[in-house]
Amino acid sequence: MTLTHTEAQPLAAAEVEAIRADFPILHRTVADGAQLVYLDSGATSQRPKQVLQAEYDFATTSYAAVHRGAHTLAGEATDAFEDARERVAGFVGVPTEGLVWLRNATEGLNLLAFALTDPEAGRYALRPGDEILVTELEHHANLVPWQRAAARSGATLRWIPLTDDGRLDLSDIDELISSRTKVLAFAHASNVLGTVTPVAELAARARAVGALTVLDACQSVPHLPVNLTELGVDAAVFSGHKMLGPTGIGGLAARPELLEALPPVFTGGSMVERVTMQSTTFREPPQRFEAGTPPVAQAVALRAAVDYLSNVGMERIAAREHQLAQLMLDGLAGVEGVRVIGPADAADRTATVAFEVEGVHPHDVGQVLDAAGVAVRVGHHCAQPVHRRFGVNASTRASAYLYTTDADVERFVQALGTVRGFFGRS
């Protein structure tokens, strides 16, 4: 399934301007009066006033603890909380009972990696001789937990390498995905390279050998139309703050039967059924995995974010970002001394582009761009193995979203063109 190519009509310039009007922060100035150009949405997206208002309205009208009271506010809060679960679950294409609320996607990946090393996971439990397969393009959050899971369980960690153009090298996939494979964990889209991976194909291969597929969907759910059930994955994670929502909330979306088989990882209040001084029984999923006070206001805000994205249309957002990806790649190709890291064309990639500037450290690149009002990300982006694969320690990353204009990209490219001259590298 190719998700970056769609028949949907891209957002027109006037529509993008109307969207920008909903984002108060995009109208501020920085750097001695320069208009802000925000190209760091891959790290954290900005929030529209509709999302900010939804959280404010909840906090000022129905704020209370959920599932714990019989008074009016408690009932309203619980209804809003569970309505948000239903709406967000539908947005990513899973049953309501298959969505677990967590603080972020990282917590969801750690939960899965830990639960699968517990003998109580039964047939899903990792054991010596099993293999966990990841890829070379993973964010640390989808690599380090599986390294730890392998160390705890005695399983072996293997990985799918990258080609020189930043795609998954599937030439040895028949050997890598075998009867020994117990878990296949990989990103839907790279947070560095922008590469979109062939999820349905890999999930089908994993399913054929009885392996679980765990998808890091943090960089796809905000940007592409995603239906996790149709893609055939067993579990996936995503973060609210990358999809117009607040920080402090993320989702673990999984097949309900998988959640039913897994033991709890975090214990305490809310997730228990019966507690004595000697033993405890636990609630059914998803509440089994939601110990303590949940992110109620954040869930309400995330629902508003999902409504906003749905009203715009994910197919149209994807089509617009395909345009932006090509615009950025074309612009970077015209700047002397710049090398794009990853796919050099816009096919099967998101509007996230990492690059290096010859003779200039990424942090210095970022400072020059910031002085021109352009916000980008610098560093290794929590993906050191990806950078090592391409022979660099760090990179500069520009990542666009539905509120990015052509003029934003033009200002970015223009400012980037001054960097080498500023440091005497021209």
| Structure confidence by residue, pLDDT tens digits, 7-27 | 799 999 999 999 999 999 999
Structural domains in the chain, sorted by start: 13-45+313-421 (3.90.1150.10), 52-310 (3.40.640.10)
pLDDT at 6: 53
Which residue(s) pair with 352 in the sheet?
A: 399
Question: Rounded to the nearest 10 degrees, what angle do helices 72-92 and 296-312 cross at?
Answer: 40
Per-residue pLDDT, 3: 43
Q: What is the C-alpha separation between 45 and 51, in angstroms, rounded?
A: 12
Sheet architecture: strand order including 99-102: 99-102, 250-254, 235-239, 212-216, 181-187, 131-135, 156-160
* Cβ-contact 185, 148 below 8 angstroms: no
Closest C-alpha among 3, 396, 401 to residue 196:
3
pLDDT reported for residue 2: 39
Segments of the chain scoring below 50 in pLDDT? 1-5
Query: Which helix (H) or strand (E) covers residue 399, if one does?
Result: strand 395-399
* pLDDT tens sequence across 322-339: 999 999 999 999 999 999
Distance, in Å, from the CA atom of 113 to the CA atom of 182, rounded to the nearest integer, reads 12
Tokens of 7: 């028949």
Per-residue model confidence as pLDDT tens digits over 122-164: 999 999 999 999 999 999 999 999 999 999 999 999 999 999 9
What is this structure's pTM? 0.96
* pLDDT (0 to 100) of residue 312: 98
Nearest one of 164, 114, 208 to 391, comparing CA atoms: 164
For the chain, the residue count is 426
Of 364, 382, 390, 418, the active-site residue reads: 382
C-alpha to C-alpha distances, 330 to 47, 121, 197, 321, 353, nearest whole angstrom: 28, 49, 22, 14, 11
382 is catalytic: yes
What type of residue is 260? E
